[in-house]
Amino acid sequence: MQVVSADEHELRAELVREFCELVRVDSEPYEEAELADVVEENLLELGFEVERDDAGKKIGGNSGNLIARLPEAQCSREKPILLCAHLDRVPPGKGVKPRLKGDRIVSSGDTVLGADDVAGLVAILAGVRMARRVQSVLPPLEVVITVCEEKGLQGSRHLDYSKLQSKTGFVFDAARPVGVVIYGAPTHVKFEVDVIGRAAHAGINPEDGVSAIQTAAGAITRIPFGWVDDDTTANIGTVTGGEAMNIVCERVHLVGEVRSHDDRVAARVLKQIEDCFAEEARKSGAKAEFEASTLYKSYRIDENSEALRLLRHAIGSVGRNMTLELSNGGTDANQFNANGIESVGLGIGFEQAHSTRESITVEELVAATKLASCLILRS
């Protein structure tokens, strides 16, 4: 049995209460305003200056990102750090009814729990509160709470970086235990291909047609799928097209992706995919239009970086071991790194994210909060 002190007992109750309050507020992507209001109020109460940028307008959502900082006059003289979490959660994420099952918080089973990323919000808010109890004057701190992270990091992509001073950032948003640090993540490129053939009657004059489906199939069988090498994956996720059984298919639209920790490999694989479609189109007399867009760029943090130096210390203070891991998914850390803020992702203990089985233990929620507090205090 776990023995906890009275203080610890109170802390656990406080964090569970705060967590449940926040997950009960609906916050699917593009609809984060209500939760943004609640978090903004919390930040103001904690003494932050808070502004909301215009990212919401740019991406068609009802809220921008929150950018908060402790007033400079009230801070000690050190370099600022940035803490980040996101407001949105994947569907089904409305009407979340959290329940405590032993030490574990779960949803009622028909929605996600929203620990991704409410656990990050709680860790930061409660972490500031905890740090304040230890020390009234804190080192400089910036907090960024993003929208639309789950939609290709759109919030952090449209964040107004001119408002930030930090050169070191910590993103509280990884489905790993507290202590795990995501020190690198891949470049993620989306590609779309339109294969355009020629329609004809499939039974009367098929010889006049050029089948876009057959042309696309020729390319699909040749391009790489899955793991291309240890650092690179490729996929085609959707194929749509065709009008009817009796028409030689004129048009097929394909959407796929390439991820790689090595930008040169990503570029090479994309070129290979583009070339396959172009060659097959040439052979059949169809046309292939290929378009690629980079959703976010890779990052890899150096062992001697300030971020890892601070973390080594803070994670030790929480009584955990620091474990460095690479991820094959993107987080807001990708965008921060691309904008000159050296940032890592942090495990905060939620499990089975993006499913109705999502959960988090109170123990991890407590550890994530203590980690935030230690980072804030640089202790």
Q: In this chain, which stretch among 95-103, 115-123, 239-247, 361-369 interacts with Zn ion, using CB under 5 A?
A: 115-123
How do beta strands 180-185 and 299-300 pair? antiparallel
Exactly one of 18, 53, 88, 351 is catalytic; which is it? 88
**Token pair for residue 24?**
């009960």
Q: Which residue has the tokens 């930040």?
A: 43
Q: Which residue, 216 or 353, has its beta carbon nearer to Zn ion?
A: 353
Query: How many whole angstroms separate alpha carbon 374 and alpha carbon 181?
Result: 15
Exactly one of 142, 149, 280, 351 is catalytic; which is it? 149
- Helix and strand totals (H; E) in the chain: 10, 17
Q: Which residue, 182 or 213, has its beta carbon nearer to Zn ion?
A: 182
Q: Please state the closest distance from residue 127 (CB atom) to Zn ion, in A.
A: 17
Q: In this chain, which stretch among 6-14, 168-176, 258-266, 359-367 interacts with Zn ion, using CB under 5 A?
A: 168-176
Quote the radius of gyration of the chain (alpha carbons, Å).
Answer: 24
Q: Which residue, 40 or 116, has its beta carbon nearer to Zn ion?
A: 116
Q: Is 116 a residue that touches Zn ion (CB under 5 A)? A: yes
Query: How many whole angstroms separate alpha carbon 118 and alpha carbon 131?
Result: 19
Q: Which residue, 286 or 346, has its beta carbon nearer to Zn ion?
A: 346
In this structure, how many other beta carbons lie within 10 angstroms of the beta carbon of residue 373? 24
- Check if 72 is active-site: no
Scanning residues 289 to 318, which ones bind Zn ion (CB under 5 A)? none
Scanning residues 82 to 111, which ones bind Zn ion (CB under 5 A)? none
Q: In this chain, which stretch among 169-177, 189-197, 217-225, 314-322 interacts with Zn ion, using CB under 5 A?
A: 169-177
Q: Which residue, 116 or 274, has its beta carbon nearer to Zn ion?
A: 116
- Check if 149 is active-site: yes
Q: Is 53 a residue that touches Zn ion (CB under 5 A)? A: no
Cα torsion through 306, 308, 311, 315, rounded to 10: -160
In this structure, how many other beta carbons lie within 10 angstroms of the beta carbon of residue 17? 11
Q: Is 173 a residue that touches Zn ion (CB under 5 A)? A: yes
Q: Please state the closest distance from residue 88 (CB atom) to Zn ion, in A.
A: 8
Burial class of residue 145 (count of CB atoms within 10 Å of its CB; 0-12, 13-18, 19+): buried
Q: Is 117 a residue that touches Zn ion (CB under 5 A)? A: yes
First-to-last alpha carbon distance for the chain, in angstroms, is: 29
Q: Which residue has the tokens 């090498």?
A: 229
Q: Is 280 a residue that touches Zn ion (CB under 5 A)? A: no
Q: In the complex, which residues of this chain contact Zn ion (CB under 5 A)? A: 116-117, 173
Q: Which residues are catalytic?
A: 88, 149
